[in-house]
Amino acid sequence: MITADVAVVGGGVHGASTAFNLAERGVTNVAVFEKSFIGAGATGKSSGLVRFHYTNVQEVTLTWVSYRDWFLVWKERVGGECGLVDHVGMLRIVPEHHVTNLRGALAMMRAVGVDTYEVDAQQVREIEPQLDVSDITVAGFEPQSGYADPSSTAVSLMEAARQRGVRLFQGVEVHGVKVEGGRVVGLETSAGDVSAPVVLVANNAWAPRLLGKLGVDVPISPEWHQVAVFYRPPSVGRHVMCIDSILDMYFRIEGQNMTLLGTGEGKPHADPDSYDSRPTMEFWAEAAEKLTQRMPAMADAGAGRGMTGIYDVTPDGKP
């Protein structure tokens, strides 16, 4: 029987980060169980935006501290690669009736320490000449924002945890949490029983199913989202990242000659074990139309690869 002081369910970035931080604090008898491979779930399907614009101080602080104290010193603090590409810059584009809220968010972010400020349409054009700004009144700009590689982040965290004594069991599916006398005592897995007085569940949209067997209601709903990746035409160079509430989309550069785009619209109540891994043709058409509307020179962009994945959505949409 496998024994551990802490058993972690899920080998995504949260499970890997938990294992690493436990080991850093001296809790090294930790076992991580991942039914596939590190980052196989939502982590590997993430768009990886590194940005600080949120509507509440908790998320702003979390992302800013993560960037400042972790991503900027990743090699020294963790080792391995996180794939950080920062100072791409991000424009937060909102409709005119959301400008007051935007200004409040920018002030809150500056109070936390984020370098961000308001720009008008002309300044948006100066920051990114390739954008159509005809429907923009004001926007927020974050010069430090960019993106990272979620899979590399998870893998390097897990490797660092293993170097500190954490054990990783890949290809092992967790079937249930064992409880005796009202207390957690371990796990039931495809590799046999596990003895552990502490279990941390970090398996994303699968958590409600696992904990539901114990009568625990986890308010998480699986939601299917799609991402399209386009090859930029030669006339379009590298560009800033945008989160655009007017057109309900976000986009960023990917590699040397591609642009990745997603939208806020998803399919609720999806099955995390059975969903189409390819974006629909309708989504490709919608994505191309929106991207061209904001960046007209992308009208000649070529379709590249696409991907889909599952978000674990809470009732208020917050972590």
Please name which of 54, 61, 156 lies closest in space to residue 102, comparing C-alpha atoms: 54
> Other C-beta atoms within 10 Å of 79: how many?
12
Buried (b) or exposed (e) across 21-52, using 16+ Cβ within 10 A? ebbeeebbebbbbbbeebbbbbbbbbbbbbbb
- If you average pLDDT over residues 23-41, what whole number do you get? 98
Whether pLDDT at 317 is above 90: no
pLDDT band at 106, cuts 50/70/90?
very high
Domains and their CATH numbers in the chain: 2-47+151-212 (3.50.50.60), 220-319 (3.30.9.10)
Q: What is the mean pLDDT of the chain?
A: 97
Rounded CA separation 243/146 (Å): 12
Q: Could you give the percent of the chain with pLDDT greater than 70?
A: 100
Which segments of the chain are extended strands (E)?
Answer: 2-3, 6-9, 30-34, 49-50, 90-93, 117-120, 138-142, 146-147, 167-170, 174-180, 183-189, 192-195, 198-201, 221-231, 241-244, 249-254, 258-263, 267-268, 302-313
- Give tens-digit pLDDT for 224-275: 999 999 999 999 999 999 999 999 999 999 999 999 999 988 999 999 999 9
Helix, strand, coil shares, percent, the chain, to 5: 30, 30, 40
For strands 138-142 and 117-120, give the pairing: antiparallel
pLDDT band at 153, cuts 50/70/90?
very high
pLDDT band at 318, cuts 50/70/90?
confident
pLDDT of residue 78: 99
Amino acid present at 137:
T
- If you average pLDDT over residues 61-69, what whole number do you get? 98
pLDDT of residue 199: 99
Whether pLDDT at 133 is above 90: yes
Interior angle at CA 187, CA 184 and CA 190, nearest 5:
170
- Give tens-digit pLDDT for 10-23: 999 999 999 999 99
Amino acid present at 121:
A
pLDDT of residue 310: 96
Among the listed ranges 103-107, 185-189, 290-294, 310-314, which one has the minimum average pLDDT value? 310-314
Amino acid present at 272:
P
- If you average pLDDT over residues 126-148, what whole number do you get? 98
Rounded CA separation 80/159 (Å): 8
pLDDT of residue 219: 95
pLDDT of residue 215: 96
Token representation of residue 75: 């090699």
- Give tens-digit pLDDT for 193-206: 999 999 999 999 99
Would you say 204 and 46 are in contact if contact means Cβ atoms under 8 Å apart?
no
Rounded CA separation 319/312 (Å): 9
- If you average pLDDT over residues 100-121, what whole number do you get? 98
Rounded CA separation 56/51 (Å): 14
Whether pLDDT at 319 is above 90: no
pLDDT of residue 236: 96
